[in-house]
Amino acid sequence: MSLGRGRAAFGGARVPLPALVLTALLATSACALSEKGKPAAERAALGGDVVARVGTETLTRGLVAEVARAQRITPEEATRRLVDDAVAAAAARERGLDTSPDLRWRLVAARARTTSDRLLAEARALGPPTDEEVNELSRRHWAEVDRPPCSRVVHAVVKLPKDGKAAAKEADARALATRMRPELLVVTDAESFKKRAEGFAEEAKSLGLSITAEELVPFDATGRTLEGGSYVDAFVAAGTALTAAGETSGVVQTEFGFHVLRLLERLPEQRMPFETRRIAFSDEVVMRRARTAYQAVVDAQRTQTPIEVLPSADTSMRELHGAERRR
């Protein structure tokens, strides 16, 4: 990898040149690598695939062509930039800048980014999302692209205790929900429904029970919610059976207690055409492909590369973080 002219040339990628290297270039590049006075052996004629030599660096025709293609410049300009890069890099080495911890880490990070960029380009080159990829993401994003009809309800539930006394309290909970339902039938909006149900809270408490009244996230006939959760089957069946807004269920038993549901809204299905999904998922598919390839590279390298994290690392990082916060 070589640095110069504000960029690094490595597989066609451009990496910002640290200011320190530019300083070294200005100070030394004019004289450090001058051909004047060098032995004749170091100025040997070029030939074959070699385009130029700068000190110990050899620039090949293939490298020039790759940089020219990647940066959309002429081969002459690519050669000039590569020579400048090599001169600057040599100047930086002579100044010892390549041993700077900050610069060394920048070079490591640049190589890592180059790997990521290459894998991303390879993932994009595989073409549009396949049918299998579209189907997989359709299942993941069903609420946005393949949503069936959904129900939005408000409900009140007489909740059973969780201390092992649920079975003994079932009769009381059912009776209270049965008494509560007629009171809920006369209200017309969600807020009134919840307040009327909460009016039974003291009676429920006296029986060792509790009442919860709330609006719920819309759900489909399988129980999936638009926020990624799910509801139990008995509750879903009762909610799905309500077909007109304002309709109220009977008393429904679930593992949580005894419910009364009110349908607030029936959401129509929302289906995106398959080919439109293919276009919509393009960027996500490329990222998923690249991420999978990147993880494979990292996993393979981990098996070959010794990695040691000192036991004191966590303590050191906490101490450093504390010192930074106190500044």
What percentage of the chain carries pLDDT values higher than 90?
61
What does 105-140 look like in DSSP terms, one character per residue?
HHHHHHHHHHHHHHHHHHHHHT-SPPHHHHHHHHHH
Any idea what the CATH number is for the domain that residue 179 is in? Answer: 3.10.50.40
How many CA atoms lie less than 13 Å away from 159 in the CB half-sphere?
14
Q: How confident is the model at residue 327 (pLDDT cuts 50, 70, 90)?
A: low
Do 205 and 259 reside in the same domain of the chain? yes
- The answer, as to whether pTM is greater than 0.75, is no
Residue that the structure tokens 């946005």 belong to: 144
Element holding 318 (H helix, E strand):
helix 313-326
Does some domain include residue 144?
A: no
Q: Which residues contact 15 (CB under 8 A, 6 or more apart)?
A: 3, 7, 8, 106, 110, 113
285, burial (CB in 10 Å: exposed 0-12, middle 13-18, buried 19+): buried
pLDDT in tens, 3-16: 334 343 333 434 34
Element holding 205 (H helix, E strand):
helix 201-206
CA-angle at 96, arms to 94 and 100, nearest 5°: 150
Report in angstroms the alpha-carbon separations of 75 from 47, 85, 99. Answer: 17, 15, 32
Last residue of a domain, one of 233, 268, 303: 268
Do 77 and 179 reside in the same domain of the chain? no
Does some domain include residue 162?
A: yes
Does some domain include residue 310?
A: no
Least confident of 48-52, 127-131, 184-188: 48-52
Does some domain include residue 134?
A: no
Does some domain include residue 280?
A: no
pLDDT number for residue 47: 55
Residue that the structure tokens 């959760």 belong to: 229
Q: Which domain holds residue 223?
A: 149-268
Do 91 and 19 reside in the same domain of the chain? yes
**In this structure, are residues 268 and 149 in contact, taking their beta carbons and an 8 Å threshold?**
yes
Do 99 and 163 reside in the same domain of the chain? no
Do 239 and 170 reside in the same domain of the chain? yes
List residues bridging with 219 in a β-sheet: 151, 225
Q: Work out how many domains the chain is built from and give that number.
A: 2
pLDDT in tens, 132-169: 999 999 999 999 999 999 999 999 999 999 877 788 89
Do 160 and 262 reside in the same domain of the chain? yes
